[in-house]
Structure 1
Amino acid sequence: MDYQLLFAVVFGVALLLVLILRLKLQAFLALLIVCVFVGAFSGLAPDVILDAITKGMGGTLGFVATVVGLGSLFGAVLEHSGGAKQIAHYLIQKFGIKKAPWSIMLTGFLVAIPVFFDVAFIILIPLIYALQRKTKKSLLLYALPLLSGLAVTHAFIPPTPGPIAVADILNANLGWVIVFGFITGIPTAAVAGPFFAKYISKKIHIEAPYESLENEDSSINLSPTGLVLSIIFLPIVLIVINTLVNSPLAANWNFPEQVLFISTLLGHPFTALILANLIAWYFLGVRRNVSKDELLTISTKALYPAGVIILLTGAGGAFKQILIDTGAGLMIAESLTSDYFPPVIFGFIIAAIVRIMQGSSTVAMITAAGITAPLLGISNYSEMQLAILVIAIAAGASVFSHVNDSGFWLVKQYLGLSEKQTFKTWSILTTLIAFMGLFVSTVLWYLV
């Protein structure tokens, strides 16, 4: 083993944490600094280091920037249309108050596909307050299932930025990531949501704040639920169909050339999301008498947070390329090649360590993906296994949200919890998501 390479990688990750935690540097800048550091300590020439950063950034951003940008535009129009609230009201009406925790979990699970976690939570929290006031039960009985649904989808199911970035770094097929994201996400959301909420709500009773944050106008003409759900699932269905049509599973089906052409064109994430955006723009915007100027303003604002995620992902791609070019990645991969230590476990552990140390699940995912990617070069993993690996890394990056994570304080503030109560509820919930995700993804790893 080359101990100089090992030292460069270990010290590089430690430096990343120091730069983010102690010096409060933006993670994008910190990742690039670490790339230069690892490259230099590994003995690469300056021009090779800079070429690797350029190659890693460019190769990653070509796909991720487009998908994250289109996903952000899509989510902004849905948010403005009131579609998230409409889904919640419909499901509660359909399942009834007794099954409201399950309805709320499902709402969070669906809404977080196009809408960012924190935005979706703030949109839907007034509904949670209303349910608590109506039933007089603990606010946690309804809030935790919502948070579980939102967090699981945000971590596991594209086109949310985390799994998009990891899938690109690992060269995983997005269609399979979606399929295994749903397979893993549904039982995970159930355990961390309704089941955990039923238990903890009996021990901690929380009342909704008296100062209602509801500013819903019942006169607003919300879009039909069926239309909203159809638009949300359109890109997902198109991507999955394309994956299945072009997979070995359909090798003997002999589809006509025209079908393959249409499937490949419309099922690519770019075209699927462009189509969804156009339909949402018209049916959730123009048809509801939203002016074109207002739609343009909504769309433009939506791209601001996307820019941070895109740059972070690009820096993660650069880090991956540095590990490959130095040979550090191959060294780590060869030392960890074992049936008892599969990539799903390794990726989960790295993501979990970075997540607990610095708080950001996105940084944890990207760092873990960069370190794990070289493991894939020495073994011939299937498309399904690569997709499952994405889910395992996302699970690790979800573990134990605490005081260095903005989500911890968001939940504490809106639910009126103390720090101790937030640890007992939100931190445990995110840990349940992590270990359930690891369990299911590990089982799937050996089944496919």
Structure 2
Amino acid sequence: MTSSAARTALDLTADLPVAGLEDCYRDLHRHPELSLREHRTAGKLAEQLRKAGYETAEGVGGTGVVGVLRNGDGPTVLLRADMDALPVAEETGLPYASEVPGVMHACGHDLHVAWLAGAAGALAAGRDAWSGTLLMVGQPAEETGQGAQAMVTDGLYERFPRPDVLLGQHAAPGPAGLYAHSPGLILSASTDVDIVVHGQGGHGSRPESTVDPVVTAAYLVTRLQTVVSREVAPRDSAVLTVGRIEAGTRHNVIPSEARIALNLRTQSMAVRDRMIAAIRRIAAGECLAAGCPREPEVIVGADFPATVNDAGTDRRVAAVHGEVFGTGAVFDPGPAMGSEDFPHLAPDGVPYAYWFVTSTPADVWEAAPGADLMEKFTAVPSNHSPRFAPDTSTLVPGVRTLVSGALAHLAVA
């Protein structure tokens, strides 16, 4: 038997303005904006919310947007979309490709904004079928981990209703038409670490008079690969990535310092702390062995929390998604190593659910090499790829996931 939430969601999304959703998405894709610079994107979302009848505020936490629709007694449900793009040069060849050099929506946040605008419109138009309060949040700067906290610090829950539940979703690679739920840990914590190696610079013709930080950094990069393989238990998932190494100015100049930028992905604070301790020890040891004049600097930087769904909330949303799309469309992939700042939006003790909407076009998926789903999954363009291009056929389903998730918590007639 189909629940009233599922039936109502299907009714409210039966006549979505598909052409308008596509125009909105393509416009956003053409005009990507980097973190905390999402002025045009925020304006477009705010315009859609006002048109649908929401009390709308802009500039929350910098460039954040909040829309409120009060519709009688009932829970307050927050729906969130992140808005920022990435410093990636687009290689999709799409007719609506980015017009901003070196910047693209390589993570699907343009799709997220279009989904949120569509859901806001559908729920407002069908307000006779439910009661409660909707809080629509267009969040800036997810990619840098700044936006959610900035909105909270700017008084998100003092200026607007405090939610009883938070819901969020993300475009992901995979054959379009699947909805990934995990009732618990779904995304890992992320930690940036910078290492500064101090050497003694000099002329390239006289290396014996220097302490070369480039050579020391090279040893460090190699040695750091043993942190996960030799210091983290096989039962604990962890990733250490060297994302950047910088040193020097000229071919024949041995520099005075080298900088290494690391990113850690962990699923527990204990593993994170163990990895940071290992990084400090290895950096100090390599610099001592090289005769560096100073100890290295190890700086722990930006942090993303682990995203841990409230099990009951996630199961509730997954159940209604199964009713709307078919039980075979909903699956549990287990936790991923990606990270999100969405949990920063959740006040203490308030439950949330976060899920994925697969979005790889059918022709791209079919052409990908591999005999099974996981082999193909690793072969298709992923988030942050210059070739990441979600299928526009996911526009309507992505609206339905948000609408049905909200209705699973609102009072439905």
Q: Identify the structure with the greater helix proportion.
A: 1
When the two structures are superposed, what TM-score results if normalisation uses the length of structure 1? 0.29
When the two structures are superposed, what TM-score results if normalisation uses the length of structure 2? 0.31
Q: Which protein is bigger by CA-based radius of gyration? A: 2
Q: Identify the structure with the greater strand proportion.
A: 2
